[in-house]
């Protein structure tokens, strides 16, 4: 357990709100309990379908081969897990985890509908304390989930431990965009349009307002790269996608 978790006066962010360190997980669970039924629809609407291209790029950078093992952390509806399962084939294994039971069920149902049953397992797990032996996985990915984690350093350390030597971590996440004169449009979309879409399509404006705010509180590209390096990852780099609205960070356990 980290020093932060042991400090009862420690606070963390929940979007633009500050709250006690131990409260964020409960609040995040509430957000995803609310959005789970319309999660895929909202992702398509929010990104104009681009999230599917970003995830394909992530899978393409996994380096996975038939027979290997992969872990999808905070897997949501399982887009990355689907790509990983196709790459490792029937002789490989993909573990799908999420801290939110409702989201885990959504992902499991979607992957079963896609015909994936034999090489995929599902585990309700906290990214900060992954229940896997050291050196288990050839690749670990977390897509659009790290910003919702309370103790990001603990999550990175847990993922590092679960990787095999030579394995790689993929962190796909919203980041700091470089939009120039288009920046005001991005801000307007995030804080005016997005909550209205959430209200209209999912009946929940507040959760989508939190999601927009959480993006602004997440570390930028260089800061997150430095966090990976502090946790022992090497050969760290990142790829800006959509002018940096999203970035894929890659780090190796050597």
* Those residues with Cβ within 8 angstroms of residue 179's Cβ, 6 or more apart along the chain or in another chain: 185, 186, 243, 244, 245
**Mean pLDDT throughout 61-74?**
98
- In whole angstroms, give the CA distance from residue 97 to residue 131: 10
Q: What angle do CA 3, 152, 213 make, to 5 degrees?
A: 120
The rounded distance, in Å, linking the Cα atoms of 112 and 100 is 18
* Higher-pLDDT residue of 48, 249: 249
pLDDT mean over 138-145: 97
Q: Tell me the per-residue pLDDT of 180-209, one tens digit each, with 9 for 90 and over.
A: 999 999 999 999 998 998 898 878 899 889
CA gap 229, 219 in Å, rounded: 14
45-176+220-252 has which fold?
Rossmann fold (3.40.50)
Residues 87-100 pLDDT 10s = 999 999 999 999 99
Looking at the chain, the whole-number percentage of residues with pLDDT higher than 90 is 80
Confidence at residue 171, expressed as pLDDT on a 0 to 100 scale? 98
Domains of the chain by residue range: 45-176+220-252
The 163-174 sheet, strands edge to edge: 120-124, 93-98, 69-73, 137-143, 163-174, 246-252, 234-241
Residue 1 in this model has a pLDDT that exceeds 50 = no
* pTM to 2 decimal places: 0.93
Closest to 80 (Cα-Cα) out of 143, 167, 174: 143
């Amino acid at each position: 357990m980290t020093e932060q978790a042991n400090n009862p006066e420690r606070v963390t962010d929940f979007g633009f709100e500050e709250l006690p360190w131990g409260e964020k997980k409960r609040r995040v669970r509430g957000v995803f309990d609310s959005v789970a039924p319309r999660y895929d629809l909202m992702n398509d609407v929010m990104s104009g379908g681009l999230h599917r291209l970003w995830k394909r790029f992530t899978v393409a950078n996994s380096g996975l081969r038939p027979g290997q093992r992969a872990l999808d952390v905070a897997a949501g509806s399982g887009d990355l897990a689907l790509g990983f399962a196709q790459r490792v084939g029937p002789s490989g294994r993909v573990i799908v985890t999420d801290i939110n039971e409702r989201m885990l069920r959504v992902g499991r149902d979607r992957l079963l509908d896609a015909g994936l049953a034999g090489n995929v397992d599902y585990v309700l797990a906290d990214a900060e304390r992954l229940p896997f032996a050291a050196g288990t996985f050839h690749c670990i990915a977390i897509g659009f989930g790290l910003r919702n984690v309370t103790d990001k350093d603990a999550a990175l350390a847990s993922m590092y431990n679960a990787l095999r030597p030579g394995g790689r971590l993929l962190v796909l996440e919203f980041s700091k965009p470089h939009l120039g004169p288009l920046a005001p449009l991005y801000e307007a979309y995030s804080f005016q349009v997005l909550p209205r879409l959430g209200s209209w399509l999912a009946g929940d404006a507040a959760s989508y307002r939190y999601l927009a705010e959480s993006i602004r509180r997440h570390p930028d590209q260089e800061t997150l790269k430095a966090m990976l390096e502090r946790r022992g990852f090497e050969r760290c780099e990142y790829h800006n996608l959509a002018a940096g609205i999203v970035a894929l960070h890659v780090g190796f356990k050597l």
